[in-house]
Amino acid sequence: MGNSFGCSASGERLVSAARDGDFVEAKMLLEYNPCLAKYSTFGGLNSPLHFAASKGHNEIVALLLENGADVNSRNYCGQTALMQACRYGHWEVVQTLVLFRCNVTRADYLSGRTALHFAAVNGHVRCMRLVAADFVPSTSFKSLNRQPLSSSDTSDGSSFTKTSGLCKFINKAADGGVTALHIAALNGYFDCVQLLLDLNANVSAATFHYGTSMDLIGAGSTPLHYAACGGNLKCCMILISNGANRLSLNCNGWLPLDVARMWGRHWLEPLLDPHSDVQIPVFPPSNYLSLPLMSVLNIARDYGMQSSASTSDDADICAVCLERACTVAAEG
């Protein structure tokens, strides 16, 4: 969209401005032609919104969205701006995209990964918390995590619907059945593992039996198998403390202990041994589990975004500070 010869030059200038973080240039181009916000490079490679999100230029992201950019637009890989921001850990951009009601459940075309998967790859725990914000009800920690809500817990079942949606989102599998918990465990991001478990991630989820992207771990593997491959002791302990089974066999007949030995993670053997007597500590909830975040986002959407969008006319801007309306009347 917006790739006619008449606007392609201006569109490419906007792409460069979004990529380089040139807010002044981007604002000037959009004031001249707001439709440029919907421009995409030839072949649909990336839009200005994708470039700004991937580089962490939050002001430009907000500017593009305010001028009509599609918050859920995809590039040629099927990736949204949210996926790009989560991939590189730009949590401020993620927050802005969520405020503009982006679709957090979309998966890309290549691997079926959502924004949550992309955030888990590099351990961007703040991004993970933000993309789950609309699913987490403002309830007590115990009722959310230790005692899952049932439809009888509320009169209208709204909390149950939110919690059910949260479970589906958190446990959504990419190609091969890999969940965000598998990815975080493999890469040793224990803070991400803890947060996902607090948000009702399935500690026993197994990858698909017909194959997985990590064939050396084996199809039908649990997050504990993946953690054993990654070699992070704390990840393994957190999983076990949340009910991970040391006796789980994958399709190759391997225990997590076998995976650890295959990958040379010998320091994990005392913990992963089925007859282990290693004392597992009690881990506190994630520091990133901020339950009122859903309410904060809704308030920002209902009031904050509207107030920021309605600015004074240029004629009312103070000639001195160039920011707020002038309150001093000129005389004589």
Match 């959009």 to its residue by tokens.
30
pLDDT band at 324, cuts 50/70/90? Answer: very low
3-state helix, strand, coil in the chain (%, to 5): 50, 0, 45
Residue 257 — pLDDT band, cuts 50, 70, 90?
very high
For 252, residues 6+ apart whose C-beta sits below 8 A from its C-beta are 218, 219, 220
Task: Give the Cα separation of 223 and 237 in Å (integer).
Answer: 12
Q: What's the pLDDT band for 109 if we cut at 50, 70, 90?
A: very high
Please, what's the b/e burial string for 165-180 (b: 16 or more CB within 10 A of its CB; e: otherwise)?
ebbebbbbbbbbbbbb
Res. 137 pLDDT band, cuts 50 70 90: low
109-118 mean pLDDT: 95
Within 10 angstroms of residue 313's Cβ, the number of other Cβ atoms is 7
* Mean pLDDT along residues 53-70: 95
In the chain the domains, ranked by start, together with CATH numbers, are 9-103 (1.25.40.20), 114-141+166-288 (1.25.40.20), 292-331 (no CATH)
- In angstroms, the CA 17 to CA 11 distance is 10
Name the average pLDDT for the chain: 82
Instruction: Let me know: does 116 contact 170? Beta carbons within 8 Å.
Output: yes
Calculate mean pLDDT across residues 311-330.
43
Confidence tier at 11 by pLDDT (50, 70, 90): confident
Q: What is the rounded distance in angstroms from the CA atom of residue 303 to the CA atom of residue 248?
A: 50
100 touches 65 (CB < 8 A)? yes
CA 321 – CA 312 distance, rounded (Å): 14
Which CA distances in Å does 193 have to 8, 115, 120, 227, 233? 45, 16, 9, 10, 12
Average pLDDT value for residue range 135-147: 55
Segment 24-37 mean pLDDT:
90
Distance (Å, whole) CA 272 – CA 238: 12
Q: Residue 210 — very low, low, confident or very high, per pLDDT cuts 50/70/90?
A: confident
Hey, which of 72-76, 138-142, 235-239 has the most confident mean pLDDT? Answer: 235-239
CA angle, residues 123, 129, 132, in degrees to nearest 5: 125
Tokens encoding 257: 């202990």
Residue 158 binned pLDDT confidence (cut-offs 50, 70, 90): very low
